[in-house]
């Protein structure tokens, strides 16, 4: 992994928890549990390799229409990782930022997320971890437009970007989606205009450090032209 051009910002669409659990004759909630474990493992590996920003899609606005039982299991996982086992997140040594509309979440979960953002705001030598929770790119864009309208302002690319959840951050260089589906599912639609996309047929809980390294090597071999002509 040495001497390759690494992305500064990697985003993960962590898909396939449910199918992975089914394959192992376990309930979907078990897939989510193993999915969170894998998220910590892979984020830690990405930061160790030198990635500065990792953004993970944990729950989409559309996911809120799933059965309440599944959502309650996911909220319990949040409670676990932001309260009882919060050391696991703190060990990453990164600032945690939550992107998404937290208003429909249970008050205690919202409180824990805000507390985590506060507690990790200082002493974060390894970078930034964005957790997308009840995140939807359309909601994000519409909210930004409404803010601009409320301020009575026309926007340009820079001022519009500052109204998104990702204000002040560089766009993702690479989005990795596991689970075999080849789509963005309402993830970072504005920010991903020039992002490289990588799709894996592995389910998220089985996506390994080695798989991540393969994706990073693949990224390093791409020619990012941004509309220009090939150099050299
Ligand atoms: C991704 O796994 C995690 C969430 C969307 C919360 P899924 O739950 O979508 O798993 P599959 O796609 O049904 O296998
Ligand atoms: C995308 O996965 C959302 C997350 C990984 C959080 P979904 O399972 O919700 O996406 P679709 O429904 O297959 O597009
Ligand atoms: Mg899915």
- Six token digits for residue 13: 């669409």
The pLDDT assigned to 1 comes to 83
Q: How confident is the model at residue 55 (pLDDT cuts 50, 70, 90)?
A: very high
Cα–Cα distance list, 81 to 47, 96, 190, 224 (Å): 19, 12, 29, 37
The answer to whether the Cα torsion of 197, 47, 82, 33 is positive or negative is: positive
Q: How confident is the model at residue 231 (pLDDT cuts 50, 70, 90)?
A: confident
| pTM exceeds cut of 0.85 | yes
| Residue-by-residue DSSP string for 195-215 | -EEEE-SS-GGG--HHHHHHH
Percent of the chain with pLDDT over 90: 97
Q: How confident is the model at residue 46 (pLDDT cuts 50, 70, 90)?
A: very high
Tell which atom from ligand 2 comes closest to the C-alpha of 62: 9
Is the CB of 15 within 6 Å of ligand 1?
yes
Q: CB of 137 within 8 A of CB of 57?
A: no
Please name which of 213, 173, 220, 179 lies closest in space to residue 197, comparing C-alpha atoms: 173
Mean pLDDT of 168-181: 98
Task: Look at ligand 2, atom 10, and give the residue with the nearest C-alpha.
Answer: 185
Reply yes or no on whether 63 is catalytic: yes
Q: CB of 171 within 8 A of CB of 192?
A: yes
Mean pLDDT of 67-89: 96
Q: How confident is the model at residue 195 (pLDDT cuts 50, 70, 90)?
A: very high
Reply yes or no on whether 17 is catalytic: no
3-state helix, strand, coil in the chain (%, to 5): 45, 15, 40
Q: How confident is the model at residue 2 (pLDDT cuts 50, 70, 90)?
A: confident
Please name which of 121, 112, 125, 167 lies closest in space to residue 144, comparing C-alpha atoms: 167
- Over residues 106-140, the pLDDT tens digits come to 999 999 999 999 999 999 999 999 999 999 999 99
- Six token digits for residue 157: 């690319």
- Six token digits for residue 173: 């260089």
The pLDDT assigned to 232 comes to 64
Q: Distance from first CA to last CA of the chain, Å, rounded?
A: 25
CA of 62 to the centre of ligand 3 (A): 11
Is the CB of 19 within 6 Å of ligand 1?
yes
Is 223 a residue whose pLDDT tops 80? Answer: yes
- Over residues 150-160, the pLDDT tens digits come to 999 999 999 99
Cα–Cα distance list, 20 to 14, 56, 178, 206 (Å): 12, 18, 11, 8
Mean pLDDT of the chain: 97
Q: CB of 64 within 8 A of CB of 15?
A: no
CA of 177 to the centre of ligand 3 (A): 10
Is 72 a residue whose pLDDT tops 70? Answer: yes
Percent of the chain with pLDDT over 70: 100
């Amino acid at each position: 992994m040495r001497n390759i051009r690494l992305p500064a910002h990697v985003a993960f669409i962590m898909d396939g928890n449910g199918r992975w659990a089914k394959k192992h004759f376990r309930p979907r909630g078990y897939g989510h549990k193993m999915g969170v474990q894998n998220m910590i493992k892979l984020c830690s590996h990405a930061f160790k390799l030198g990635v500065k920003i990792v953004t993970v899609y944990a729950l989409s606005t559309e996911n809120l229409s799933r059965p309440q039982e599944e959502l309650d299991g996911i909220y319990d996982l949040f409670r676990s990782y932001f309260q009882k086992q919060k050391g696991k997140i703190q060990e990453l040594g990164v600032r945690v930022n939550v992107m998404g509309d937290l208003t429909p979440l249970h008050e205690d979960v919202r409180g824990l997320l805000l507390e985590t953002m506060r507690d990790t705001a200082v002493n974060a030598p390894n970078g930034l971890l964005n957790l997308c929770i009840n995140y939807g790119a359309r909601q994000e864009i519409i909210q930004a437009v409404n803010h601009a309208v409320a301020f009575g302002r026309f926007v340009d690319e820079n001022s519009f970007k500052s109204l998104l959840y990702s204000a002040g951050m560089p766009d993702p260089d690479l989005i990795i989606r596991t689970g075999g589906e080849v789509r963005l599912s309402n993830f970072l639609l504005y920010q991903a205009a020039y992002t490289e996309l990588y799709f894996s047929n592995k389910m998220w809980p089985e996506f390994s450090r080695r798989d991540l390294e393969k994706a990073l090597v693949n990224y390093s071999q791409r020619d990012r032209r941004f509309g220009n002509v090939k150099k050299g």
